[in-house]
Amino acid sequence: MNKFLVVLLLPILSVFAQVSQPRVEPTGNLYYDVKQIQLSENTLSFQMNNDTKEKRSVLLAGALSLVVPGAGQAYNENYWAAGVYALIEAGVIYMAIKYNNDGDTKESDFEKFAETHWSAKAYAQYLYSTTPTSFKQNPVNNDGSVNWDVLNDAELKITGFSHQLAPFGDQQYYEMIGKYNQFRSGWDAFYLPGDDYHSEGPLKIAVNYMGMRKDANDAYDISSKFVIAIYLNHVVSTVHAIWETVKFNKSLDINSNVKVKTVGSVSDYETNLNFRYSF
Residue 182 CB partners (closer than 8 Å, separation 6+) = 155, 158, 160, 161, 162, 163
272 in a structural domain = no
122 in a structural domain = yes
171 in a structural domain = yes
Contact between 74 and 65 under an 8 Å Cβ cutoff? The reply is no
Residues β-bridged to residue 263: 266
Lowest pLDDT segment from 13-22, 59-68, 182-191: 13-22
176 in a structural domain = yes
Interval 32-59 mean pLDDT: 60
Mean pLDDT of the chain: 81
Structural domain that includes position 103: 99-235
Query: What predicted TM-score, i.e. pTM, was given to this entire model?
Result: 0.67
- Tell me the per-residue pLDDT of 132-188, one tens digit each, with 9 for 90 and over: 999 999 999 999 999 999 999 999 999 889 999 999 999 999 999 999 999 999 999
94 in a structural domain = no
Query: How far is the CA of 259 from the CAs of 39, 44, 254, 270, 273, in angstroms?
Result: 13, 6, 17, 5, 12
Q: How many domains does the chain have?
A: 1
- Tell me the per-residue pLDDT of 89-128, one tens digit each, with 9 for 90 and over: 999 999 999 999 999 999 999 999 999 999 999 999 999 9
